Structures are given as structure tokens and as C-alpha cells.
């Protein structure tokens, strides 16, 4: 009985935390219109020196494909750092916080809405 009670409490806390994270997250679609596979996408609030976690950890985004991710809401502006499988990277800077779709063309060129 002790185990079941604590398992229920743990499940309730996990559900609460996931709900809170969902409420504090915004949907963002990212399309890879470049010629390279994307192996990592890092996001950060504009004006900061550090990149946050890889938002496609464990996945690869081939050219011509799209991924939908959840990003922290509340950014006034945000930046992306995109890496290929060899660690080469490009930075895309100054997306408005309410951006819902980004089309990455490569070479730092992009479109958003």
C-alpha cells in the first residue's frame, strides 16, 4: 500500500509538471529547406551568450522535411543555432517571440511567420 500511494503521488506530480511545462511552451514548426541534414537545433533568448538544449535531441531533420517542437513561451525575441552531422553550424537571429513557423534556407537565410 505504501508503494501504491507514493506511485500515485509521483504520477500526479509528473502530470502537474508536464501540464505546467505545456502551458509555458509555444508551438513552433521548423522546415529544413536547406541542402543539408540538420542534426541539432539550439534555441536561446536573443541577447544571451548561451545556447539552451538541442530541441531535436536524438532526431535528424532531412532537407525538405518539417518538425514541430515546443519552445519556451515568453521570449521577446529568440535565436536559433542549427548544426549538421559534422558540427558545422549556422545561426539565425532575431525571430519575434510570437513566431509559429520558420523556414530555414541555409546560409543564415530564413523566412518566418
What percent of the chain is predicted at pLDDT more than 70?
80
Q: Which helix (H) or strand (E) holds 12?
A: helix 2-23
pLDDT digits (tens, 9 = 90+) for 20-35: 444 578 999 999 999 9
pLDDT at site 74: 83
CA distance 1 to 61: 46
pLDDT at site 55: 94
- What torsion do the CA atoms of 57, 66, 25, 75 make, to the nearest 10 degrees? 100
Is pLDDT at 53 greater than 70 in this prediction?
yes
E strand residue ranges, the chain: 25-32, 40-45, 66-72, 77-83, 89-96, 101-106, 109-112
Amino acid at each position: 500500500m505504501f508503494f501504491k500511494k507514493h506511485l500515485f503521488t509521483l504520477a500526479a506530480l509528473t502530470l502537474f509538471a508536464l501540464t505546467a511545462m505545456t502551458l509555458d511552451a509555444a508551438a513552433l514548426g521548423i522546415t529544413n529547406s536547406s541542402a543539408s541534414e540538420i542534426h541539432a537545433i539550439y534555441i536561446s533568448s536573443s541577447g544571451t551568450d548561451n545556447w539552451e538544449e538541442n530541441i531535436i535531441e536524438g532526431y535528424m531533420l532531412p532537407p525538405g522535411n518539417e518538425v514541430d517542437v515546443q519552445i519556451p513561451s515568453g521570449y521577446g525575441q529568440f535565436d536559433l543555432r542549427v548544426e549538421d552531422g559534422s558540427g558545422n553550424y549556422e545561426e539565425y537571429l532575431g525571430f519575434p517571440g510570437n513566431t509559429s513557423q520558420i523556414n530555414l534556407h541555409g546560409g543564415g537565410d530564413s523566412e518566418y511567420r
